[in-house]
Structure 1
Amino acid sequence: MITNVLTISLSDSVGWFGIQADVKTFTALGAYSTSVVTAITAHETDLYTALSNDIVISQLEAVLATTPIKYCKVGWLGNEILAQQVGELLSEQHQLKWVFAPGFGLLNNKHGLAAEKVRSNVFNLMKKADITCLNCEEAIWLAEYQYPSNFHEMKQLAWQLMKNGNGQLLITGGNWSDEFVIDCYATRDSCVELAAKRDDTPVVGAGCSLAAALVVYLSKASSPLEAIRSAKSWVTRAIHHSNELKFDTSKGSINHLFGIPA
């Protein structure tokens, strides 16, 4: 039986991140994708239009009423009321496990929210999510912490953020090594160091797609750590195959379709 999965996020017109990247990831990994759009963006512009809370919630209720969902990714939610409503609806689905990856909203101000409000929204959702995914830049901004220069400092950053959440935390992109990129998977009891060969290919959306891949692998793996390792391996290969895509820009997308015959 094919697994049904859900993404709740914004739309990126070029498909490097957001809903489009999530749907490609889900499909490439053999899951059936459903989606809830929270905002519309025009790629590499300042245009950002949030959909009304009513429209977002109506989409979510329609998905939950028609499709059994056990695994979900939640991306950027544009205001406190929406974050509360989505969090409550998902929490009512007792079989549901969800990954929270708020990336878009943390390091830009297209949405116009004050920093304190963004932090409050994120921390409230971290309390409900099973796993939260952040890159290092997002993590240090949230925690108001210095950039880690070794794994010990990365663990300290993780512990600082874990005070605001009840689940598990994956921080990616520790870049103090010339050879490896270091990630940190933190639970209440431990921190695990995960290293991957550095690949400086200029791509956008790897973190977004990592969280989406994690949603699918959670449905297949025997543990969250195994799912994280599998998701990281898949994204690494998608980055490696990014040269098979063409864009008229200095950066590009990971290749979500590398395993699908042309």
Structure 2
Amino acid sequence: MHVALTIAGSDSGGGAGIQADLKTFQRYGVFGTSVITAITAQNTLGVAAWEPVSTALVRAQIDAVATDLRPNAFKTGMLGSAEIVRTVIAAIVDHSLTGFVLDPVMVASSGDLLLERDAVAVIRDELIPLCAIVTPNLDEAALLLGQKILDEEGMARAAEKLVVELGAQAALVKGGHLQSGETMVDVLFNGTHHVFRAERLGSRNTHGTGCTLSAAVAAQLANGRPLLDAAGGAIRFVHDAIASAPGLGAGHGPLNHLVVPENDGAPPAKRQVVADSARNSTTSR
């Protein structure tokens, strides 16, 4: 059995964070391990309070997992502070951890801030260059790049900049907040632009979507699936998990993590490949 690791915050409501990640790992048939960076008191209505775990304990958790269980892939979610980000960076380097999916969690779906502001620069300048893929939503990508993202072309430019200028191996910019009619658009850049399109679901049950998607990518990487296929599979998994959500709570409800992931041979979310030449070098515009 392959091993996946999540380094993230705990969600007492069970819809996001460590809890969502471990449910997703289990559904993909990988052995889930965890490092808790913060304890949050939250539910579907919002985050009531949170406190970071000490950097010493964060490092001790990573050391314990990395030296014995040797994860095949891992993800980060809520890191909370610049000090924790730097602690994670040092551990990644010291243990030569690979298959890194970076979910730059900054704000909860309820709008509550989950990252101290001085940590943004550390993520941008020091953590992103270590990752196999970074998976920001529109607001996170805008904050990392210092620019607004208003349409699909802006998403493509942002994904490319995250790779070419900030050093990620690949970037998946999620367009769930984009006003794009009945179609939801996600754009991945890994040297070529890939546009994923899926039916937009009018659902309030979106708590933990980013956590679940990045965990699904990490689980598939741990199982040896190619990155592009893993991204498409994760998008489909989240879409189906929203569509069959149990409708719990009075706010942004959790997903259905019991949904069956696609088989490796099944087609992922409809994907359109756009060559760089067709875009005429988006970063030069």
Q: Is TM (by shorter chain) over 0.5? A: yes
Cα shift at 1:52: 0.5
Question: Against the structure 1 CA distance between its residues 88 and 109, is the aligned structure 2 distance closer, same or farther, given a 3 Å change threshold?
Answer: same
Kept in 1, the 8 Å contact 2:77–2:102? The answer is yes
- Alpha-carbon separation, structure 2, partners of 1:229 and 1:14: 27
Kept in 1, the 8 Å contact 2:77–2:103? The answer is yes
Kept in 2, the 8 Å contact 1:158–1:169? The answer is yes
Of 69, 77, 99, which aligns to 2:79? Answer: 77
AA matched with 1:16: G
SS state at 1:183 partner: strand
Residues 232-261 of structure 1, C-alpha deviation per residue, up to 9 Å, x if partnerless?
A: 11111111110xx2423132011001349x
Cα shift at 1:46: 3.4
Kept in 1, the 8 Å contact 2:133–2:170? The answer is yes
Cα shift at 1:95: 5.9
Of 203, 217, 222, which aligns to 2:220? Answer: 217
AA matched with 1:143: L
Comparing 69-78 with 19-28, which one deviates more in the overlay?
69-78
AA matched with 1:34: T
- Aligned match of 1:26: 25
- Aligned match of 2:184: 181
Question: Against the structure 1 CA distance between its residues 248 and 125, is the aligned structure 2 distance closer, same or farther, given a 3 Å change threshold?
Answer: same
- Aligned match of 1:10: 9
AA matched with 1:199: L
- Aligned match of 1:40: 39
Superposed CA RMSD in Å reads 2.0
Cα shift at 1:136: 1.1
Cα shift at 1:177: 2.1
AA matched with 2:160: W
Question: Against the structure 1 CA distance between its residues 153 and 33, is the aligned structure 2 distance closer, same or farther, given a 3 Å change threshold?
Answer: same
Give me the identity figure in percent: 28
Segments of 5+ residues of structure 2 without an aligned counterpart are 262-285
Question: Against the structure 1 CA distance between its residues 221 and 230, is the aligned structure 2 distance closer, same or farther, given a 3 Å change threshold?
Answer: farther
TM-score by structure 2 length? Answer: 0.82
AA matched with 1:103: V
- Alpha-carbon separation, structure 2, partners of 1:25 and 1:201: 20
Spell out the pairing of 1:91-130 with structure 2 (5 A cutoff): 91-94=93-96, 96-104=98-106, 108-109=112-113, 111=115, 113-114=116-117, 117-123=118-124, 124-130=126-132
Kept in 1, the 8 Å contact 2:47–2:112? The answer is no
AA matched with 2:243: H
- Alpha-carbon separation, structure 2, partners of 1:9 and 1:182: 26
SS state at 2:47 partner: coil
- Alpha-carbon separation, structure 2, partners of 1:3 and 1:101: 21
- Aligned match of 1:251: 252
Cα shift at 1:222: 4.5
Question: Against the structure 1 CA distance between its residues 110 and 8, is the aligned structure 2 distance closer, same or farther, given a 3 Å change threshold?
Answer: closer
